[in-house]
């Protein structure tokens, strides 16, 4: 994969999809349906997926594409692919809380190498550049002109007082029990893949996820965190979280800044 070609395409498609999502978000009303697994889906999910899938397929026709909204793509097999969650945080979108993102990533040999996370309601955009360094873009988010870029890097954690971020919609007792193993300076909640990005920018030190996620939920944020010097490991044995699993389902995991003294379950 030529990353010099890939990154601008992913960035542009994320912005395009984000604009469409915000058109619907700011409308008076929108329909909410339930998928076969009882998770919600809106016309925004579907419209964003159409934009991104069409764009990626046109630009990289020979690369396997996996996207949340196309069940047929979940049958794909391999460890190198493009993976999309066109609207991560649908519950946040439905309740108009703003913590939703557009996620696009490229996975190679089971590792998310490049990714973009765009939060259109919060005017925040994170992506990995072609050279692998993660950045946050500011400005108008123009389709063809990249705005000011600031390199992002994880913080140096203080294990005597850690900054922890956890899921806004799935913060349960198991999560609280694990967080309580640490000395916590501050704890916040955030939706969607923004949690990875808060660790990547140093706004948090650790994000534990004790709950079900799919690879399309995590790949883009994982790539951004890797490009900022962070890491993501399995909750059970602290080995790297890898991609291309048979059903694209993740085990529980921990995203963190190196230097955090990880606790066992």
The tens digit of pLDDT for each residue in 210-249 reads 999 999 999 999 999 999 999 999 999 999 999 999 999 9
pTM of the model: 0.95
Q: What per-residue confidence (pLDDT) applies to 72?
A: 94
Residue 90 assigned as binding residue: yes
pLDDT of residue 117: 98
What pLDDT band is residue 38 in, cutting at 50, 70 and 90? low
Q: What is the pLDDT of residue 18?
A: 98
pLDDT digits (tens, 9 = 90+) for 79-93: 999 999 999 988 888
Whether residue 39 has pLDDT greater than 80: no
Strand blocks (E) in the chain: 32-34, 40-42, 65-67, 81-88, 101-108, 111-119, 124-128, 134-137, 149-151, 162-167, 184-190, 206-209, 213-214, 231-234, 249-250, 253-256
Q: Residues of CATH 3.40.190.80 domain(s) within the chain?
A: 162-256
pLDDT value of residue 192: 83
Q: Is 88 one of the annotated binding-site residues?
A: yes
Q: What is the CATH number of domain 162-256?
A: 3.40.190.80
The response to whether 198 counts as a known ligand-binding position is: no
Phi and psi angles of residue 7, each rounded to the nearest 5 degrees, phi first: -60, -45
Asked which of 31-35, 57-61, 108-112, 222-226 is least confident by mean pLDDT, the reply is 31-35
Q: Are 148 and 140 in contact, with CB atoms under 8 Å apart? A: no
Q: Which two structure tokens, joined as six digits, stand for 143?
A: 């389709």
Provide the residue count of the chain.
265
Q: Is residue 170 pLDDT above 80, yes or no?
A: no
261 is in an annotated binding site: no
Asked if pLDDT for residue 139 goes beyond 80, the answer is: yes
Residue 24 pLDDT exceeds 90: yes
pLDDT at 32: 78
Q: Which of 23-27, 28-32, 44-48, 68-72 has the lowest mean pLDDT?
A: 28-32
Instruction: List where CATH 3.30.540.10 sits in the chain.
Output: 3-151
* Higher-confidence position of 225 and 30: 225
Would the annotation count 217 as a binding residue?
A: yes
Say whether pLDDT at 7 is over 70: yes
Cα(158)–Cα(183) distance, integer angstroms: 9
CATH 3.30.540.10 fits 3-151, yes or no: yes
- Candidate from 63-72, 143-152, 166-175 with smallest mean pLDDT: 166-175
């Amino acid at each position: 994969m030529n990353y010099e070609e890939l990154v601008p395409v992913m960035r542009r498609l994320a912005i395009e999809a984000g604009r469409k999502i915000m058109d619907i978000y700011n409308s008076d009303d929108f329909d909410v349906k339930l998928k076969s697994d009882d998770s919600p889906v809106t016309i925004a999910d579907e419209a964003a997926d159409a934009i991104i899938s069409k764009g990626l397929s046109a630009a990289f026709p020979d690369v396997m594409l996996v996207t949340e909204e196309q069940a047929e793509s979940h049958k794909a097999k391999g460890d190198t692919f493009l993976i999309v969650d066109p609207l991560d945080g649908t519950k946040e979108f439905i309740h108009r809380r703003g913590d939703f993102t557009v996620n696009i990533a490229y996975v190679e040999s089971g590792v998310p190498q490049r990714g973009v996370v765009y939060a259109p309601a919060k005017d925040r955009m994170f992506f990995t550049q072609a050279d692998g360094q993660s950045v946050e873009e500011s400005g108008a988010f123009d389709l063809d002109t990249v705005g000011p870029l600031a390199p992002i890097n994880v913080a140096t954690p203080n294990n005597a007082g850690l900054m922890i971020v956890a899921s806004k919609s799935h913060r349960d007792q198991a999560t609280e029990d694990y967080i309580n193993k640490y000395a916590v300076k501050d704890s916040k909640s955030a939706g969607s893949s923004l949690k990875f990005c808060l660790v990547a920018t140093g706004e948090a030190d650790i994000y534990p996820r004790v709950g079900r996620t799919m690879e399309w939920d995590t790949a883009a944020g994982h790539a951004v965190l890797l490009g900022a010097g962070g890491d993501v490991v399995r909750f059970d044995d602290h080995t790297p979280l890898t991609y291309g699993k048979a059903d694209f389902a993740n085990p529980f995991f921990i995203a963190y800044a190196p230097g955090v003294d990880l606790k066992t379950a």
